[in-house]
Amino acid sequence: MTELHDPTAPPPFAPLRTDRLTLRPLRAEDAADLHRLVNDWEVAKMLARVPFPYPRELADEWIASTRALIAEGRAWHLAIVGREQEKEVLLGCVGLTLQAERRQAELGYWVGRKSWGQGIGPEAAGRLARWALANLGIEKLVASALLENPRSQALLRRIGFRQLGEAAQDFLSRGGAMPVLTFEMTRADLPAEPMPAPPPPAAAEPAAEGKRIVLVSAVALIDPDGRVLLARRPEGKPLAGLWEFPGGKVHPGETPEAALIRELKEELAIDVAESCLAPFAFASHGYANFHLLMPLYLCRRWEGAVTPQEGQALAWVRPQKLADYPMPPADKPLVALLRDFL
């Protein structure tokens, strides 16, 4: 058997969509429109890696290079495409480049002048940022904006970036170094709804700080080769992109075992008997809005094939490799216990 997922391997890329836009790989036929949009001083002067004037043949060369980089999993430079009268229209570009041994990626974007003031930039950049943090296994995103470009600075803050400081960066269009503000964003900075907490049973007591106690049941599924199953939280959920032990919230009136049996059926399409769930350890962790209590069970026997039902990536992981997978804070203390036991 082989691992279902490598945390360092880039995912296959499918176009990303928003209410108005599609973010897709650039095509050879985009070259003329790309050249027309970016060969504009008001656009090019804000971009570090774009010369001005922008030669027409450079558009063809750059588009060909972007497709190779996507195939290699090193960078994703994408067309921002809208629709006018049922026809695709190129509006600009947005991109990500992996850096620092794949622990971070740089985000950049530009939009043609005709589309300024329509919210295209934040819609496209925010969508790509969410995809990156949920799928690339990176710890953070970085970005920069010219000191004289307050609109780009505001855009980065709007989608979740935090300002770090000031630096100098070479700009091809300006022929030298220019002052920029630097930014970064982690999963914790993503604009998102807080992790919901179910209504507690009447008998439940609040934690010492007045937070609700949320009971979540989790399991370490162990295959015949001694590997443990991890699931990656999909895009759109809090802590998206982190790996965790399968499981879920215990509903009022449920036992932890019953909740786990239900969750495994819903999430992985497997049937587990309560007698096959062995209590192992528990985690206790305080989040901003609630306090999490999570018993962890061990399970070596189940019926059916493990099949993701919610679009989540799965990985069968050797115990000594569990620490290589970024996890939510509540799961991390369980890794060492599980590794030593197995």
> Which domains are assigned to the chain?
16-189 (3.40.630.30), 212-341 (3.90.79.10)
- Vertex 101: Cα angle to 230 and 142 (nearest 5): 95
Between the alpha carbon of residue 286 and those of residues 4, 113, 192, 331, the distances in Å are 31, 47, 18, 12
Confidence of residue 340 (pLDDT cuts 50, 70, 90): confident
pLDDT tens by residue, 1-59: 334 555 556 667 899 999 999 999 999 999 999 999 999 999 999 999 999 999 999 99
Q: What is the 8-class DSSP label of residue 188?
A: G
- Write the CB contacts of 172 (distance below 8 Å, at least 6 apart in sequence): 48, 49, 50, 51, 52
Closest CA to 244 of 267, 266, 265, 226: 267
**Alpha carbons 219 and 257: distance in angstroms, whole number:** 10
pLDDT tens by residue, 227-240: 999 999 888 788 88
**Alpha carbons 90 and 72: distance in angstroms, whole number:** 24
What is the residue-wise DSSP string for 236-300?
Answer: TSTTTT-EE-SEEEPPTT--HHHHHHHHHHHHH--B--GGG-EEEEEEEEE-SSEEEEEEEEEE-
pLDDT of residue 102: 63
Mean pLDDT estimate for the chain:
89
Average pLDDT over residues 147-152: 96
Indicate the pTM of the whole model: 0.76
Q: Which helix (H) or strand (E) holds 60?
A: helix 56-72
Q: Is the C-alpha dihedral spanning 309, 311, 317, 323 positive or negative?
A: negative
Cβ-based neighbour number of residue 289 at 10 Å: 12
pLDDT of residue 205: 46
Q: Output 185 or 236, whichever has higher pLDDT.
A: 185
